[in-house]
């Protein structure tokens, strides 16, 4: 992929990280673009999830919205699976 595209991918990764912190009020998550592997890495502590850039490349260009949705849904599922505080009431 071209270096111009890689620069845009890095900008998008930073924006997604910012969205996770600002909108989702979730700290400790970071999204980075890995140019060599052409993938996005979602990191949270020692856990890492990968999203292939090729999976979001469409004939009309990169589907940045779907990438954001998939990353946010992955984070949401992860937050729901975290153990609850013992003093917190059950739903």
Domain spans, the chain: 3-79
* Cβ proximity of 56 and 62 under 8 Å: yes
- Alpha helices (H) along 2-63: 3-22
Q: Is 41 helix (H, G, I), strand (E, B) or coil?
A: strand
Tell how far CA 9 is from the center of its chain: 12
26-84 per-position pLDDT tens digit: 678 899 999 999 999 999 888 899 999 999 999 999 999 999 999 988 888 876 555 44
Q: How far apart are CA 6 and CA 11, in angstroms?
A: 9
User: Which residue pairs from 52-57 have beta carbons closer than 8 angstroms and sit at least 24 positions apart in sequence?
Assistant: 53/1, 53/9
Q: Which two tokens stand for residue 5?
A: 């595209």
Which pTM does this prediction carry? 0.76
């Amino acid at each position: 992929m071209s270096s111009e595209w890689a620069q845009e991918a890095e900008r998008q990764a930073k924006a997604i990280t910012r969205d996770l912190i600002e909108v989702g009020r979730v700290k400790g998550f970071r999204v980075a673009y890995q140019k060599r592997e052409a993938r996005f890495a979602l990191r949270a502590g020692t856990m890492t999830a990968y999203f292939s850039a090729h999976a979001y490349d469409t004939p009309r260009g990169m589907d940045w919205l779907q990438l954001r949705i998939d990353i946010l849904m992955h984070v949401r599922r992860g937050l729901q699976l975290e153990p609850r505080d013992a003093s917190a009431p059950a739903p």
